[in-house]
Structure formats: C-alpha cells, structure tokens
C-alpha cells in the first residue's frame, strides 16, 4: 500500500485498496471514430469517478482539466497523441459529475492528488506522463512534487511553478486583480447564483477575459455553462476555491508542506502571453533552477491566452510531443532550457 493511502482519511484513500472497483462501462461516444475509446469508472462507497481512455498501446498520458472546463478541453490533443503512439486518459475532476460530488465539499489538494494517483494504481501503471491545465495543472504540480517516482514528465499549462508563487505575485501585484473571482467565490449563495444565472454569463465572461480576442469554441463554452447549471456540480466547482481558504484543516496544512518540495521530474511549462487569468510574467519570476533537478522548459505562445491549448492546438501539440518523445529518448535533460515560440 502506498503512503498516500496510509495518510489519507478521506474517501480517496479507499479508491483502490479498500473496497473500490473499476469497470469498463461502455465505448466512449466521442467523435474520434478511428480511435479505440473506453469509459472507465472507479466505484467507491457512494461515489463514482469517471475517466475516458483512448488508444490501445503505448505509454500513458494522463491529462487533467480545470475550471471552468471539462475533460473535452483536450479534444485537440488526444488524436495527435494517439497517432504518435501514446494512450491518453482524461479523468473527470471529482465533483464535475454528480456521481463524484463530495457531500462534505472537501476538495483539498492532497485529496485530489491521491485521487489522481488512484487512477494510476487502478490501471496498474507504475509511471505515466502527466499534463494538467488550470486546476489540473495545480494538482499536477503537487502530484509531481510529492510522488515524482510515478511520473515520466510533467506538463503544466497556464499555471506557473507553485513553490515561489507568493514571491512572484509580490513582483507582479496586478495578478491580485486578475484573481478577483477567487474571493468572490467565497461568498455563499451569491457565487452560486452568479455562476448559474443568465445562461452562464459569468462563465462566458471568464472565458472572454482569460483568452482575450478569441472566440473559437462557442459549443465548448455552451456545454460548460450547461454543466455548471447543475446545482451539485456548481457547488463542487466552487468548493475547490473554498477549500483553498480552509487553512486550518490538517489536509490543507499537509498540502502546504508539499509546496516546499522540488519537482524531480522533467517539466514543461506552457503559457499564453495574453493570459488574462494568470499573468504570463509569473512563469519567469517563479522559475528557480534549483527547484527542477531533472530540468525545466518554458514555452510561451504569443497571441494566446489561458486556453492556449485550444487556441493554438497545432503549436501546443507539436511542442508537447517533442517534449514527451525527448524525455523517452534522453531521460537526463539540461538543468535549464528555455524555449519561446511566436505563435
């Protein structure tokens, strides 16, 4: 039994070793007919966690979505990865489907990391490539810091290194204005009403502000707005932000201790230069060589925002595949490698 499950007292500790089960529910109904797809479920007590698995053979790439979004945010990456010989798992974040909502509203980062590691254990994968966007990237940062032996590589999209985030924000205080929504989401009842009101006007505003000048995924955003119209899911999505402020909880304290650890995994950071959610300059300021003994690379996309993997998928796919392939061919990467691409 891994240390994660010994430490965790929440439902996540039971996912694999204490009475959970995984089943192949059905073939996925996603539009890639030429790709073998499966919908998997981990059933644990009264909660069910879903994931979508693509491809038949090859190393596994686990891609974790964020807010306000869903697993289909990686729709442009899956075909490219499968064609290149990888399998891809897109897990649905806990609470982003009614079957996995936590009745106590607990979405602390260590528990989310344990949830992620549970997928690896259930699939009997000793080591995978990890990709995260937004909240998925936050989870990925902590997972790679705490359990580096479980990951070949880490790719963090739109979220800079967390270890020196506080110092970086002090250098770029305008980030506090961009993060206004985090405080707003602490208001019980008010935040729920705003997120669910007016055909998702607040969610649409966030998408416009975070990727300014881009309106390339209206059907995707429509689906997210419909998802967050469901009260239980809306409450869960807000619960992620509210758990960040429950600083006296023991699990929260444990997560903060993980932030002090280096990331001993080859790391790629991808940022859009026009990101209206996370200031792209935070990536430079928070990047400290000593935090990345296995190497780090920063890839900046000019003309792209927070959802850069949707805005410029060809460039992101090319860079991601290059990074994954290089990590297999050459496990030891340079101490610091910076790459910027004018998109």
Q: Are 297 and 337 in contact (CB under 8 A)?
A: yes
Cβ-proximal residues to 194 (8 Å cutoff; 6+ apart), any chain? 184, 202
User: Would you report the helix, strand and coil content of the chain in percent, each value rounded to 5?
Assistant: 45, 20, 40
Residue 28 corresponds to which tokens in the numbers above?
């996925």
- Smallest CA-to-CA distance from 24 within 43, 13, 36, 40 is with 40
CATH tag, 3-341: 3.40.50.1820
- Smallest CA-to-CA distance from 37 within 21, 56, 23 is with 56
pLDDT for the residue 209:
97
CA distance 265 to 293: 8
Containing 222, the helix (H) or strand (E) segment is: helix 218-227
pLDDT for the residue 70:
98
DSSP one-letter code for 82: H
Q: Are 113 and 40 in contact (CB under 8 A)?
A: no
Q: Are 70 and 227 in contact (CB under 8 A)?
A: yes
CA distance 92 to 28: 13
Domain boundaries, the chain: 3-341
pLDDT for the residue 77:
97
Residue 298 corresponds to which tokens in the numbers above?
């920063």
Q: Is the pTM of this model over 0.75?
A: yes
Residue 321 corresponds to which tokens in the numbers above?
């595949």
Return phi, psi of residue 109, to 5°: -60, -45
What does each of the 343 residues of the chain score in pLDDT, given as a tens digit? Answer: 233 332 233 344 444 333 455 656 554 445 566 788 899 999 888 899 999 999 999 999 999 999 999 999 999 999 999 999 999 999 999 999 999 999 999 999 999 999 999 999 999 999 999 999 999 999 999 999 999 999 999 999 999 999 999 999 999 999 999 999 999 999 999 999 999 998 999 999 999 999 999 998 999 999 999 999 999 999 999 999 999 999 898 888 888 889 889 999 999 999 999 999 999 999 999 999 999 999 999 999 999 999 999 999 999 999 999 999 998 633 334 434 444 444 4
Question: In the sheet that 60-64 helps form, which strands lie side by side, from edge to edge?
Answer: 21-26, 37-44, 47-54, 87-91, 60-64, 128-133, 151-157, 267-272, 296-301, 337-341
In the chain, count of helices (H) and strands (E)? Answer: 15, 10
In order of 6, 155, 275, 299, the CA distances from 302 in angstroms are: 44, 18, 10, 10
pLDDT for the residue 328:
67
- Smallest CA-to-CA distance from 321 within 311, 332, 313 is with 313
In order of 33, 163, 214, 295, 312, the CA distances from 307 in angstroms are: 25, 23, 9, 25, 9
284 by Cβ neighbours in 10 Å (0-12 / 13-18 / 19+) ranks as: middle
Could you count the other beta carbons within 10 Å of the beta carbon of residue 321?
A: 17
């Amino acid at each position: 039994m891994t240390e994660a499950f010994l430490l965790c007292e929440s439902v996540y500790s039971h996912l694999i070793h204490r009475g959970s089960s995984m089943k192949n529910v059905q073939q996925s109904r996603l539009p890639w007919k030429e790709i073998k797809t499966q919908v998997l479920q981990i059933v644990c007590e009264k909660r069910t966690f879903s994931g979508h698995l693509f491809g038949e053979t090859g190393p596994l790439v686990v891609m974790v979505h964020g807010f306000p979004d869903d697993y289909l945010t990686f729709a442009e990456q899956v075909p490219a990865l499968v064609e290149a010989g990888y399998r891809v798992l897109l897990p649905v974040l806990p609470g982003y489907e009614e079957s996995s909502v936590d009745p106590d509203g607990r979405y602390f980062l260590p528990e989310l990391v344990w949830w992620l590691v549970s997928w690896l254990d259930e699939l009997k994968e000793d080591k995978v490539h990890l990709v995260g966007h937004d909240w998925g990237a936050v989870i990925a940062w902590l997972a790679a810091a705490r359990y580096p032996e479980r990951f070949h590589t880490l790719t963090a999209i739109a979220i800079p290194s967390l270890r020196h985030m506080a110092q970086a924000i002090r250098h770029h205080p305008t980030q506090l204005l961009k993060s206004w929504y985090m405080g707003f989401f602490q208001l019980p009842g008010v935040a729920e009403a705003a997120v669910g009101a007016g055909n998702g006007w607040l969610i649409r505003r966030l998408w416009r502000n975070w990727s300014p000048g881009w309106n390339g995924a209206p059907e995707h955003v429509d689906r997210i707005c419909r998802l967050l119209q469901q009260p239980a899911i809306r409450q869960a999505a807000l619960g992620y932000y509210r758990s960040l402020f429950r600083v006296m909880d023991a699990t929260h304290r444990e997560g903060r201790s993980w932030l002090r650890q280096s990331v001993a995994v080859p790391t790629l950071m991808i940022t859009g230069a026009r990101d209206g959610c996370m200031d792209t300059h935070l990536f430079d300021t928070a990047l400290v060589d000593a935090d990345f003994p296995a190497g780090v690379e920063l890839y900046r996309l000019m003309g792209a925002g927070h959802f850069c993997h949707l805005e410029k998928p060809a460039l992101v796919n090319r860079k991601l595949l290059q990074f994954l392939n290089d990590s297999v061919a050459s496990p030891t990467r340079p101490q610091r490698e910076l790459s910027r691409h004018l998109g």
